[in-house]
Amino acid sequence: MTADQLLSFEEGRIEPADFPHREHVRFAYGILAHYSLGEALVRFRIGLQHIARKAGKPQLYHETITVAFLALIGERRASTHAPNWDEFIAANADLLDKNVLLRWYSKEQLESDLARRTFCLPAPRGK
């Protein structure tokens, strides 16, 4: 991920049609190479909100999904030790499944307005 690609993302110069889920994961991987999780979260949120607004759908931005995916990708980066994107995603192909967070979250929780607005920890199962 080049500095120019990251800047394009942060400034909202990426077209929504050019940003499917795989690109979300790739950009998260790239931004985490340059910033701590906290800084990456702020920058990634800004970029995703730009793209959602550009698509005319600002309500698509989802805080819990964004934070949880970024944290998961960060953890995998640290534990996989893959030297590049291709090796990383080959070792972590499950990240390309938009529903991977259902391992920890219920569908109902992720679909809630609360989870959309603010980061929520996974609710204990059975509650």
Q: Which amino acid is at 64?
A: T
Q: How far apart are CA 60 and CA 48, in angstroms?
A: 9
Tell me which residue of 108, 82, 106, 107 sits closest to 93, measured CA to CA. 82
| pTM of structure | 0.92
12 phi and psi angles, rounded to 5 deg: 75, 30
Per-residue model confidence as pLDDT tens digits over 50-64? 999 999 999 999 999
Q: What is the mean pLDDT of residues 73-83?
A: 95
Q: Give the pLDDT band (50/70/90) at residue 70.
A: very high
Residue 27 Cα distances to 5, 10, 21, 45, 114, angstroms = 9, 11, 10, 12, 25
Per-residue model confidence as pLDDT tens digits over 14-57? 999 999 999 999 999 999 999 999 999 999 999 999 999 999 99
